[in-house]
Amino acid sequence: MITAARWISLIAAFVMGAVAEYRLAVMLGYDKYTAGLLPLVLDVYGFAAFKVRNRVHSAAAMLAMFAVQMVSHLMTMGHGNYVHVVLSIGLSAIAPAVSFACHRLGETPEADMPEVFAELPAEAFAPVLMPEPVHPIVEPIPAEVFAATPADIREQLARLDAEAAKRVIPGEDDEQDAPEDADASPSMAETAARARELLPAHGNNKTKVAREMGISRTWLYTCLRETPA
């Protein structure tokens, strides 16, 4: 019902205004064919503004219709008394004002609008808090690292060399010379003492001594280097 009233009032206002707009264009010198374009332009603008429900353009279209009708009526009346002028202006404003009022009635009042956010939890409206910056956890260096002496470092290196020498790497020439059971191999001091006994017999050739003892050359060199004669 409201929608029908909006368009009926709008069409009636446009028809009433079209007559005055056409007369004004003729009085200003337009011929009867081009004079009809003035009400057509205003009516198209008004229909477009009401269709998109833009309040600013709807009000502008109604004000343009009112102004054109008022000027047309005043020019048609000529010189009249004060009462006739006021009545002419008031009459020109009735149709645009009623049409704009019906247009506003067709809008949905705020009280009848659906509550879109009624079902949302209260947490949805809580302020968004930015997460705190994450700082990397840096563990302190143990004090033992700074307390190590050069002798401790050499001992650690010797232990690593000994463990590396016991490992058999595929593809090396010493693979067959590595001891079959590393746990049953003699100690470093015993290995060095045995090697020193065999060196003179082999012309100080450490490779031959390592092969005879069944150990790798790297392990033999490590034992001789770390164990003084």
Q: Position 65: which residue type?
A: M
Q: How far apart are CA 209 and CA 202, in angstroms?
A: 7
Q: Give me the pLDDT at residue 191, please.
A: 86
What angle do the packed helices 188-198 and 206-213 form, to 10 degrees?
120
Q: Residue 26 class from Cβ within 10 Å (0-12 exposed, 13-18 middle, 19+ buried)?
A: middle
pTM confidence score: 0.38
pLDDT in the model for residue 179 = 47
Predicted confidence (pLDDT) per residue in 199-220, tens digit: 888 888 888 888 888 888 888 8
Q: Phi, psi (5° rounding) for residue 84? A: -65, -35
For the chain, give the number of residues.
Answer: 229
Kindly report, residue by residue over 149-173, the tens digit of the pLDDT. 677 677 777 777 777 766 655 544 4
pLDDT of the residue at 148: 62
pLDDT of 143 reads 63
pLDDT digits (tens, 9 = 90+) for 101-136: 776 665 655 444 455 555 566 666 566 666 677 777
pLDDT in tens, 16-62: 777 788 888 888 888 888 888 888 888 888 888 878 878 788 788 88
Tokens of 221: 């060199």
Distance of CA 171 to the CA centre of its chain: 56
Query: Which residue from 37, 186, 201, 199 is spatially nearest to 210, judged by alpha carbons?
Result: 199
Report the distance separating Cα 170 and Cα 154, nearest Å: 28
Question: Tokens 């502008």 identify what position?
Answer: 60
**Is residue 55 within 8 Å of residue 106, measured between CB atoms?**
no
